[in-house]
Amino acid sequence: MDKSPAVSIKVRDAEYTVSLGLKPWQQTNEETGFSRNVTQVKSDAVAAPVSAPSASATMVTANGSKVKANGSKVKASGEGVKVTNGRAAGASGSRNKSAAVKDERGKSVRTVVLKGKAPVDPECTAKLKVAHVYYEGNDVYDVMLNQTNLSNNNNKYYLIQLLEDDQRRQYSVWLRWGRVGAKGQNNLVACGPDLDEAKEIFTKKFSDKTKNDWASRRNFEKIPGKYDMVKLDYTTESCVEQKKPTKPVKTPESKLHPKLQSLVNLICDVKTMEDAVLEMKYDAEKTPLGKLTQDQIKAGYTALKKIDKCIRKGDFGRTLIEGCDEFYTRIPHNFGMQRPPVIRTKEVVKAKMNLLETLADIEVAMKIIKSASTTQNPVDSQYQSLNCPLQPMDGSNPMFKVIEEYLKNTHAATHNQYSMKIEEIYSIDKDSEKQNFKDLGNRKLLWHGSRLTNWVGILSQGLRIAPPEAPSTGYMFGKGIYFADMSSKSANYCFPSRTKQTGLVLLCEVSLGKERELLAADYNADKLPPGVHSVKGMGKVAPDPQQTHVMEDGTMVPLGKGGDTGVRNPNGFTLNYNEFVVYDTKQIRMRYLLKVKFNFK
């Protein structure tokens, strides 16, 4: 007999009682096999009434119980859950769960069962493991709608899925809606074997919420006051569910050097990606990582461009609000019950641009992670997909000592909250960069830092320039690729913390050619005069040029200790440190990747 603790909850303003077992659960990621213990805990959530179903349909609550249109009592099914009232409601069949599932850190967790081209919503527990999202070729009957209206404090979603049972031709339409970040309300409409009825319910609901036809959704037009369609990428999922083998398949041994295995695991860690976007308020539940299309991300940039234009003009009225509505609608954010904040400063615009850059890199990473071969070790497959040969460098290599000195000597005095220690150095030899490299002279080995989430995209595709849709205000010297000669200036872009002490920093051979020297920001600096190849933002502190090390191939390494350059801007703010910017990716070769430990004081 189950001795697990239980709780009986009397739901306020309703006529039913819910009894829940609180025994431990285990959550397993079916893609990676990673497992962790989770525990149900009591919540103070209040259940809302389930909306009435249509007269011709039977509503099925999320736990599998059925309620006919006349509201007659039906006994609910589901382990550990008993419901008695005239409007049966399951554990997740009402506005809020009566029990929340949390992991050891207190964060909400969920299980996604992936079958076909899109996962069944994990809140639809009645169909989670027995049905799949219906599709016909490339037409996937799954849509996430989003709407943000700052004036009315609206930040809401509407999910519609047409589901087909795995074992028989039975169809249903799953609807879930609410405020972004909340489980919301739901309705499961059973259509029996009638696919046409299910399609009609699905398409009508889509039309009601968007004023667009489902058949014409590829030419979707956002209607004021209606929901927008979040465009998702279904190409990374398998069309056919793979049958589980009767015997466990042994994962082949990795053929990679252990240090390379460690690096691949570090940059392909999905949990790290989830944590990064969560910090930036992105809602990964409504729009899973790697599923946003490039068009959707570009739409986010377009909205930011409108916001940036308003900020530069000092227009903080309706036009700015509409731009923010558009951005939050295209790129869903989770602010809980708080009103979504108006984006009023260039700093926030830049932060949102960083989010979009991260989402674009994560899209690349997720495709590589999910396309891993089944015939070789997943780490080996992911490494090969990078198309970027990496070689761990031995500590006895003279170049190791040069890089170590460069890192130490150019750690800026103003960045004294941490010190850095090299854990590994990897030599990079990317064929495409070597073949396309444009040697304009004045080649320097310079620093570039980025979040862990971005490195699959960087290593596989190289450093990239912001798209035309992005506002230029977020870039001090226009849209280009930025480098530094002070290690800690670039290392700060790893966004390290006391709890996230590992980062990756890149050393690139940059062909600067003839530099245009600037003392102040110029957002149009990317429009270079004839004969000029790069921009140098002049800083007060820079490495001592007398201590520059020259590599065998002529590349200069400015590894001297930082000192006062005497540079001052007579018209205002002076940069603390140099900035080097190129506007052509062919002027860059990635040479060394450093795995660094940040030791906070």
The residues assigned a catalytic role are: 579
CA R_g for the chain: 27
Element (H, E) at 205: helix 195-210
Length of the chain counted residue by residue: 601
For 282-285, the CB contacts below 8 A with 24+ separation are 282/331, 282/332, 282/333, 282/334, 282/355, 282/359, 283/180, 283/181, 283/332, 283/333, 283/334, 285/110, 285/181, 285/334
How far is the C-alpha of 418 from the C-alpha of 407, rounded, in Å? 13
Written as six digits, the tokens of 362 are 């994560």
Q: Minimal CA–CA distance to 493: which of 384, 343, 596?
A: 596
Non-local CB neighbours of 552 within 8 Å, separated by 6+ positions: none
Report how far residue 463's alpha carbon sits from residue 28's, in angstroms, rounded to the nearest whole number. Answer: 35
Helix (H) or strand (E) holding 354: helix 346-370
SS3 letters across 507-533: EEEEECCCEEEECCCCCCCCCCCCCCC
Dist CA 416 CA 81 (whole Å): 55
328, 320, 326, 327: which is closest to 345 by C-alpha?
Answer: 320
> 303 phi and psi, to 5 degrees?
-65, -40
Closest CA to 563 of 546, 581, 580: 546
Pairing of strands 228-230, 185-192: unpaired
